[in-house]
Amino acid sequence: MSSSQHLISVVIILSTVLGVDGFNGYYNYMITRCRFSSSLSELEYIRSYAFNKAEVIRFNSTVGKFVGYTDLGVHNAEAWNKDSALLAQERAEKDRYCKHNTQNEFNVVLSKKVEPKVRLTLGKTSTGGHPAVLMCSAYNFYPKMIRVTWQRDGQEMTGNVISSEELADGDWYYQTHSHLEFTPKAGEKISCVVEHESLREPLEITWDSSMPEPERNKIAIGAAALVLGLIVTAAGFIYYKTKSRGRILVPSG
């Protein structure tokens, strides 16, 4: 996978709120966008003016002039499009503003890769003929595109897999979760395989089916309780023995 394959079109908001008049509960803003493809060959500069969340007027570099979306916007577009100095300025923004900013975004963020942290957990143990559920979660990876699959003894399993979308964490990282419903068989090898651009080869995490974690924990807790019980019993017994011996040795008159 190369980084250019998955980025078909990326929209980056490079500059947002310019003017906010929130004092009376109204919201007036201008937003500047540079839209570009992964190769940076297609570049579009968009400047929108909005009032109270509704877009009023927009300059689109592909169109080359202002377009109004409300009565006020249409009125203004007509006036602004007659202003050749303003039009010339807006038409130059694609090169002046978008070119180097998108290049920066590309160098600083889009070309980066961060490996997923993968965790394989048991969602549900298999009980009375009901299938077990395994969950494979990949966290904090970048970029978004990832492939999570399941294998049983090296063969890809297709049925009973539910995968979430890649969820944006809001900090450029993504996470995704895949559930596998299956009926465990003795001696089999179940694994979750994660493929991502950041990984040299697919990451495979194998489920230890011999003893699922919750079972192991239950046994460990039980064993600890048993040892504690034995210690208390032994202590009580020794205490009782010492006391009773004392009474025999020093009989009361």
Ligand X SMILES: *[C@@H]1O[C@H](CO)[C@@H](O)[C@H](O)[C@H]1NC(C)=O
Taking CB under 6 A as the binding criterion, the range among 56-64, 109-117, 178-186, 211-219 that sits at the site for ligand X is 56-64
Query: CB-based contacts of 244: which residues, under 8 Å, 6+ apart?
Result: none
Kindly state whether residue 60 participates in binding ligand X, applying the rule CB under 6 A. Answer: yes
Q: Which is nearer to ligand X, 54 or 205 (CB)?
A: 54
Mark out the alpha helices in 97-212 (DSSP H runs).
Answer: 99-105
Kindly state whether residue 72 participates in binding ligand X, applying the rule CB under 6 A. Answer: no
Alpha carbon of residue 190 to chain centroid: 24
Kindly state whether residue 103 participates in binding ligand X, applying the rule CB under 6 A. Answer: no
| Least Å from the CB of residue 63 to ligand X | 5
Q: Binding ligand X by CB under 6 A: which of 17, 18, 54, 63?
A: 63
Kindly state whether residue 62 participates in binding ligand X, applying the rule CB under 6 A. Answer: yes
Q: Binding ligand X by CB under 6 A: which of 32, 36, 45, 46?
A: 46
Residues 61 and 49: beta-carbon distance below 8 Å: no
Q: Is the peptide bond before 143 cis (omega within 30 degrees of 0)?
A: yes
Mark out the alpha helices in the chain (DSSP H runs).
Answer: 3-6, 71-81, 84-93, 99-105, 213-249
Kindly state whether residue 148 participates in binding ligand X, applying the rule CB under 6 A. Answer: no
Helix (H/G/I), strand (E/B), else coil: 216 = helix
Kindly state whether residue 42 participates in binding ligand X, applying the rule CB under 6 A. Answer: no
Taking CB under 6 A as the binding criterion, the range among 55-63, 85-93, 173-181, 230-238 that sits at the site for ligand X is 55-63
> Which tokens in the block code for residue 223?
């064993």
Q: Which is nearer to ligand X, 10 or 161 (CB)?
A: 10
The number of residues that bind ligand X (CB under 6 A) is 5
Cα 69 to Cα 27, 41, 221: the distances in Å are: 17, 29, 67
84-93 helix and 71-81 helix, angle to the nearest 10 degrees:
100
Taking CB under 6 A as the binding criterion, the range among 58-66, 117-125, 183-191, 242-250 that sits at the site for ligand X is 58-66
Q: Which is nearer to ligand X, 41 or 252 (CB)?
A: 41
d(CA 170, CA 172): 6
Q: Which is nearer to ligand X, 45 or 174 (CB)?
A: 45
Contact residues for ligand X, defined by CB under 6 A: 44, 46, 60, 62-63
